[in-house]
Amino acid sequence: MNTNLQTLLHVQSLPPRSHAFLVPAQRLGSWEFTTKRRAFCLRLCNKSFGYGSGIRSSVIRGVDEVEGEGGQKEKQPVAKRAYPFHEIEPKWQRYWEENRTFRTPDEIDTSKPKFYVLDMFPYPSGAGLHVGHPLGYTATDILARFKRMQGFNVLHPMGWDAFGLPAEQYAIETGTHPKITTLRNINRFRSQLKSLGFSYDWDREISTTEPNYYKWTQWIFLQLLKRGLAYQAEVPVNWCPALGTVLANEEVVDGVSERGGHPVIRKPMRQWMLKITAYADRLLEDLDDLDWPESVKEMQRNWIGRSEGAEMEFCVLDSDGREREIKVTVFTTRPDTIFGATYLVVAPEHVLLSSLVSTAQSKYVEEYKDLASRKSDLERTELQKEKTGVFTGCYARNPASGEAIPIWVADYVLGSYGTGAIMAVPGHDTRDYEFALKYDIPIRCVVAPDDKSLSDSGKAFSGQGTIINSSNSTLGLDINGLCSTEAASKVIEWVEKTGNGKKKVNFKLRDWLFARQRYWGEPIPVIFLDETDETVPLLETELPLTLPELDDFTPTGTGEPPLSKALSWVKTTDPSSGKAAKRETSTMPQWAGSCWYYLRFMDPNNSKELVDKAKERYWSPVDVYVGGAEHAVLHLLYSRFWHKVLYDIGVVSTKEPFQCVINQGLILGEVQYMAFRDSEGNFISAEFADMLGESDQERIPEEKVVKSGDSFVLKENPKIRLLARAHKMSKSRGNVVNPDDVVSEYGADSLRLYEMFMGPLRDSKTWNTSGIEGVHRFLGRTWRLIIGSPSPDGTFKDGTVAVDEEPTMEQLRSLHRCIAKVTEEIEGTRFNTGISAMMEFLNAAYKWDKHPRLIIEAFVILLSPYAPHMAEELWLRLGHSTSLTYEPFPKANPDYLKDSTIVLPVQINGKTRGTIQVEEACTAEDAFKLASEDEKLAKYLVGKSIKKKIYVPGKILNVILDRQNVEAGVR
């Protein structure tokens, strides 16, 4: 501990009004005891942090001396501020960093409870943060600070998901190595996060691009490979020629790449796959025990898409109607509708398609396949789109009815789902119905709804009911009259008995395509022998396999990844056999590094294993995980899959990685007000814009807009209604608000407070820069309440106005109500209402004549998770020499939460004249005093001679006046 802090600790043990303490020799000439007020101690403490003894006022404009040319002191105006955040915030950020205040030691007291709170770590783009990003970060920071004060060991880390396509595209465009831009972007993000005062343990910072990190990503891949969960297969993929890489479905929008808008085609390629489908049942079942938003769990259930049904075989017929040796296997969840199957549909990528196409139809089928290859899976299965298809020229036999039914190829069936083929039942499936109507295919109803009103709807009936038109005595199957459930069971029993099919559970979930034709990603740790093309995994001792340095990151144009250009790196030898080999040149997708990073934060510098078992057992699972809903399926599902594999091999001790997930809402850009002009340039009201055909839109400044009822109108012409709308923040819309600008004008604490005060954490909200002024004023009022008003020159005095006196019952009640509310709202992540409680307390405190130290210190601790910079400064000025980070969070005393006031009737000579509000323990004298001060009762009591007072505590006050007073009253 440094000398100044020792001095300050000594000060704390002395009487509050007159402190004797040691002052450094350079200040007083020699070490000596001296008597000073607490304020001097605080000035010294300020200097111990390396800052001036006074902080300039933010309330009035004053002057400040600065050093001009030649070392001359010049007076310059000081900016008007509600409080001196511009000095407080950098000061405490430096203090936290220098003292590693938020560091979670490797060795901790594991008998204490733990709290692991985590943000979905960001991709560090060159654009830096906008004000939407700190919403979730502020919420987790409040929770982390709160839990530290409650005595928890807190793990609150931050890192960077830094591999991926954006950095590589930037490298291609500028010629800058992606490592350089990534490091630059990380430094920018880190600087912005630190400027907002987040209490991250920066000693645990990780980046997915560092070899000592992705060594373990590669190690996990080897474990997957060892267990048959990683394999290679030729699969249809989204190939973008312009980007030179395979894209995931979610990276393709309307047939073009999300990044760059380049055309994307479907083509078969040999790719690495991860067998996530092997964990489908467990991924589904374990959702029930998680404290996640129900909407997220439902999205995962739908994505996994478990369905029970049957696989059935349809024999393909030749031109003479005889059965060929080829069979088309279909999967159906409705085997009860088998007699209603009037055609088959195979996917354009079905492996048997070429064997099913007649010579006459081959040209049309090939053209259709080419068109289908340009669509994403999402586009192909979109319910609203018009169904398209081509007849193959071939037929199959319905195994139940014995009828020959046509085989079509259509892109609404995916080769990656089920068997890539369906039996189409247009009478009972909406998609099949639309297709059958379009191509004039028979529609047969085989399920009668129990509600007869649905029978003549003119649409496909997809529900369950009673089976009709479903009997074939020749083949021995009759399900007429059965309910759908019974009929399905009987059909499955029949197809298994006749060898035409079997019971089957299927999933929509597909195996994870785990390769990208990119440079900027984790190398896949396998080699291929030149002679046999056999796949050989690297030895674990050879990890990490690092990326080679490349100057040319551009796509090869052939489908070969950019890494294939690193010839000396690609050519290698198998260390076991000495045979010539080549390395895998595809890299892992960006998802890889983010699948397990939460584990590395527990033990970031371990070079011997992924995570120490004891540390993992203590910290797992993540208690609260906060991030955007856009990661609801893929990232969370992939992480759960990897975690379960690690659980199976004994690396982790829990079945799930994240116990509680919270999706913060979006912060939309500021509301934009749009006016419309007709072809002649005149303003028209928004409701008429569509009626007039083409119209120009014009953005109207907020100062020219006024609200009228539920609408916004032009101030100069209220008849012109405007369109008010807010969009997600993006550079393309020009509505991004930089947090640096907000911090510069209002301070980080104001930004933090405003983002929490805008509304519930999980809701989307619209940014309004003027709205931040309200919370900024609250912080200014807090500062002045505790520090006092500024002097005429704009400076604030050292110390505070807090007094060392016992608080009143009213003050204790106000404080403890605030404690109870703030605690409850933080625990419930209802941060906006917690701020409201503190505002109510502040309003009450401004009415007090004195502010006891006990009350003020507790309030400062309540404020600290929300506005940590101001709270630290106030704590220091209240006479404390260390950070309040680990101070105990106040606990509400139930005795002060009771409503102890009652309404007491007041009688004058036995007649009720009014009521007063008193404390339950109120004395007769206090009750009479309150009655005398009451405007309504005073006229009966003031100046009158009192004969007797009858007081029944909690019941009544009866004042008996002297008879002379009564007679005078009568006269």
Is the same domain home to 421 and 466?
Answer: yes
Q: If pLDDT is split at 50, 70 and 90, which confidence band does 819 have?
A: very high
Rounded to an integer, what is the distance from CA 250 to the centroid of its chain?
18
What pLDDT shows up at residue 66?
42
Determine phi and psi for 644, rounding to 5 degrees. -70, -35
Identify which has the larger pLDDT, 695 or 267.
Answer: 267
Q: What is the CATH number of the domain that holds 865?
A: 1.10.730.10
Say whether 941 sits in a helix, a strand or coil: helix
The mean pLDDT of the chain is: 86
CA distances to 92, 118, 971 from 883, rounded to whole Å, are 9, 23, 73
Please report whether residue 944 resides in a domain: yes
User: Is the pLDDT reported for residue 623 higher than 90?
Assistant: yes
CA dihedral 405, 411, 417, 421 (to 10 degrees): 10
What pLDDT shows up at residue 621?
98
Nearest by Cα to 942 from 933, 950, 951: 933
Domain count, the chain: 4
Is the same domain home to 405 and 480?
Answer: yes
Region 855-878: what's the mean pLDDT? 98
Of 71-80, 294-303, 773-782, 832-841, the poorest mean pLDDT is in 71-80
What pLDDT shows up at residue 964?
61
What pLDDT shows up at residue 249?
67
Please report whether residue 380 resides in a domain: yes
Q: Which helix (H) or strand (E) holds 436?
A: helix 430-439
Nearest by Cα to 525 from 468, 576, 577, 586: 586
Q: Which of 873, 896, 919 is the last residue of a domain?
A: 896
User: Is the pLDDT reported for residue 778 higher than 80?
Assistant: yes
Is the same domain home to 370 and 452?
Answer: yes
Please report whether residue 538 resides in a domain: no
What pLDDT shows up at residue 34?
31
Q: What is the CATH number of the domain that holds 952?
A: 3.10.20.590
What pLDDT shows up at residue 128?
85
What pLDDT shows up at residue 455?
67
For the segment 410-449, what is each residue's pLDDT rounded down to a tens digit?
A: 999 988 778 999 999 999 999 999 999 999 999 999 999 9
What pLDDT shows up at residue 69?
44
Identify which has the larger pLDDT, 398 or 734.
Answer: 398
Is the same domain home to 373 and 397?
Answer: yes
Identify which has the larger pLDDT, 557 or 588.
Answer: 588
Expressed in percent and rounded to 5, the helix, strand and coil fractions of the chain are 35, 20, 40
Is the same domain home to 878 and 784?
Answer: yes
For the segment 51-77, what is each residue's pLDDT rounded down to a tens digit?
A: 333 323 333 334 444 444 444 544 444
Q: Read off the amino acid at residue 171.
A: A
In this structure, what token pair is assigned to residue 522?
């984790």
CA-to-CA distance for 64 and 789, rounded, in angstroms?
18
Is the same domain home to 470 and 381?
Answer: yes
Please report whether residue 511 resides in a domain: no
| One-character DSSP codes across 630-656 | GGTTHHHHHHHHHHHHHHHTTS-S-S-
For the segment 10-25, what is each residue's pLDDT rounded down to a tens digit?
A: 333 333 333 322 233 3
In this structure, what token pair is assigned to residue 346?
């195979």
CA-to-CA distance for 352 and 325, rounded, in angstroms?
12
What pLDDT shows up at residue 517?
87
Please report whether residue 800 resides in a domain: yes
What pLDDT shows up at residue 138?
97
Please report whether residue 578 resides in a domain: no
Q: If pLDDT is split at 50, 70 and 90, which confidence band does 690 have?
A: low
* Placement of tokens 């770590």 in the chain: 121
CA-to-CA distance for 408 and 388, rounded, in angstroms?
10
Q: If pLDDT is split at 50, 70 and 90, which confidence band does 49 have?
A: very low
User: Is the pLDDT reported for residue 883 higher than 80?
Assistant: yes
Say whether 386 sits in a helix, a strand or coil: coil
Is the same domain home to 353 and 477?
Answer: yes
Is the same domain home to 719 and 758?
Answer: no
Q: What is the CATH number of the domain that holds 421?
A: 3.90.740.10
Q: Read off the amino acid at residue 95.
A: Y
Please report whether residue 264 resides in a domain: no
For the segment 132-168, what is each residue's pLDDT rounded down to a tens digit?
A: 889 999 999 999 999 999 999 999 999 999 998 888 8
For the segment 706-732, what is each residue's pLDDT rounded down to a tens digit?
A: 888 878 888 888 888 888 877 777 666
Which one of 71-75, 572-576, 580-584, 912-916 scores highest in mean pLDDT? Answer: 580-584
Q: Which of 726, 750, 775 is the last residue of a domain?
A: 726
Q: If pLDDT is split at 50, 70 and 90, which confidence band does 37 have?
A: very low
In this structure, what token pair is assigned to residue 415?
């080769």
Q: If pLDDT is split at 50, 70 and 90, which confidence band does 922 have?
A: confident
Q: For residue 402, what are the domain limits?
A: 306-505
Region 337-349: what's the mean pLDDT? 96
Is the same domain home to 322 and 410?
Answer: yes
Q: Which of 850, 877, 896 is the last residue of a domain?
A: 896
Region 399-408: what's the mean pLDDT? 96
Identify which has the larger pLDDT, 365 or 702.
Answer: 365
Which one of 57-61, 366-370, 698-702 scores highest in mean pLDDT? Answer: 366-370
Please report whether residue 787 resides in a domain: yes
Is the same domain home to 844 and 933?
Answer: no
| 535 bridge partner residues | 528
Region 466-484: what's the mean pLDDT? 95
What pLDDT shows up at residue 160?
97
Q: If pLDDT is split at 50, 70 and 90, which confidence band does 378 have?
A: low
Is the same domain home to 356 and 407?
Answer: yes
Is the same domain home to 749 and 836?
Answer: yes
